[in-house]
Amino acid sequence: MKRLHLHINTAAEQFTHSVHFYTTLFGQRPSKERTNYAKWMLEDPRVNFVLEVIEIDNDQPGIHHVGVQVDDADELLQIKTALQSAEAPLLEVGETVCCFSKSEKNWTMDPSGVRWETFRSFGDVEEYGEKTSAELANYLG
DSSP 68-96: EEESSHHHHHHHHHHHHHTT---EEEEEE
Buried-state track 71-97, b at ≥16 Cβ within 10 A, e below 16 = eeeebbeebbeebeeeeeeebebeebe
Residue 22 pLDDT level (bands cut at 50, 70, 90): very high
Rounded to two decimals, what is the model's pTM? 0.78
Residue-wise pLDDT for 56-100, tens only, equals 666 778 888 899 999 999 999 999 999 898 888 899 998 998 888
Question: For domain 3-140, is the CATH number 3.10.180.10?
Answer: yes
Which of 35-39, 88-92, 136-140 bottoms out in mean pLDDT, i.e. has the lowest?
A: 136-140
pLDDT at 141 over 50: no
CB 63 within 8 A of CB 7: yes
| Cα angle for residues 122, 34, 141 (degrees, 5° grid) | 80
- pLDDT, mean of residues 115-130: 90
Domain spans of the chain, in order of start: 3-140
d(CA 119, CA 141): 19
DSSP type of residue 12 = G
